[in-house]
Amino acid sequence: MMRERIVLPVAIVGVGLVGAAGGIGVWETLASHDGSTPAAVTTAPNVAVAQNGLTLIELYRRAAPSVVELTVKSQSQGNFGFSQQSTATGSGFVIDGQGHIVTNQHVVAGADSATVHFANGDEAQAKVVGTDPSTDVAVLELQSHRNVTPLPLGSSSSLQIGQPVAAIGSPFGLEGTLTSGIVSGLDRDIRSPNGFTISGAIQTDAALNHGNSGGPLLDSSGRAIGITSQIESESGGNVGVGYAVPIDTVKKVASQLLQSGKVQHAYLGVELGQGTNGGVPLAQVLGGGPAARAGLQQGDVVTAIAGKHVSNPDEVRAAVDARKPGEHVQVQVTRDGQTKTFTVTLGTRPSQAG
């Protein structure tokens, strides 16, 4: 018998309170640690993790000052109109000398500010600059000036399965925990907090648990290559399958959030089937959406966007994500054995997947 595939965000949420990412698809509200021994353990600290001679000890010493623990309090409407407060704990890391911090959107959902705990014991308040639930990325800004150490940002475009990685975060509130492993898989699809697909996620066997959300996944040189975001588990604990939002996505989104406080994603308005070399079928064309208005129909097989051949759903999503709402794009399909081309005016992605 096949068991249900359960994917969980890795933020700690107070027991009995509405969680930062509760109730979204197969995501669940996560209870705080009950005092038993956490599943996350580190590998031997003296094992070399990099070809350039960096050990895990050296990597940790370099990266840890840039990684923070976040305590986030938010208000929500409870039963009978009463307001109730929820507390979430997650991780984050400093990305520049101006005190900007990135984390997951589901860590700070519904909150205006957060308490930032640094590795040296300092604490500071930070305001939320902007969030993007479609990629599960958020940017915060420290409210008081202080010397901070930015974490170097790498690239997720040339990762290889088997290369060593490490994660630093606060699983179960255990601030500054280091775990290590490898890149176990690439180009995974995970679900965002608002129900859309995050493409290109990095799979790792580095131990991730509740509270790791928003922390960095590091390459062997100590550069961030992703934000640790979800685990796949039947028990709710680490079983060696974790996911990180790729850093190339994070950099793009963070840049837009710093500029305007929001991100607008282009929207085609379709659900995609499994692709082949012959194209990607449209499993559904959402009524009233950009594709429907242009004349696309369920069952059409998309073979090219803007003249570029597509053979899988990720290529379709990437072609749309590379454009802005309001842009016109040529979508070529096959229908009843004939090739047709439609001009679609892309819309703005809604706040929730349909």
What are the pLDDT tens digits along the chain (354 aa)?
Answer: 334 445 667 654 332 222 233 322 222 222 233 333 333 323 333 344 444 557 999 999 999 999 999 999 887 666 666 667 788 899 999 999 999 999 999 999 989 889 999 999 999 999 999 999 999 999 999 998 788 999 999 999 999 999 999 999 999 999 999 999 999 999 999 999 999 999 999 999 999 999 999 999 999 999 999 999 999 988 777 888 999 999 999 999 999 999 999 999 999 999 999 888 889 999 999 999 999 999 999 999 999 999 999 999 999 999 999 999 999 999 999 999 999 999 999 999 998 886
Other Cβ atoms within 10 Å of 97 Cβ, number: 10
**E strand map for 170-307:** 177-191, 197-204, 216-218, 224-232, 242-246, 266-267, 270-272, 280-285, 301-305
Alpha helices in the chain (DSSP H): 56-63, 105-108, 247-260, 290-294, 313-321
- Is 136 annotated as catalytic? yes
Residue 49 confidence (pLDDT): 42
Closest by CA to 213, choosing from 123, 92, 75, is 92
Domains detected in the chain: 1-263 (2.40.10.120), 266-348 (2.30.42.10)
- In the set 132, 136, 205, 300, the catalytic residue is 136
Q: What per-residue confidence (pLDDT) applies to 10? A: 66
pLDDT confidence of residue 131: 96
pLDDT (0 to 100) of residue 7: 63
pLDDT the model gives residue 46: 35
- CA gap 221, 64 in Å, rounded: 13
Q: Is 106 a catalytic residue?
A: yes
pLDDT at 88: 86
pTM of this structure: 0.82
pLDDT at site 37: 30
| Residue 325 exposure: Cα atoms within 13 Å on the Cβ side | 10
pLDDT at residue number 42: 33
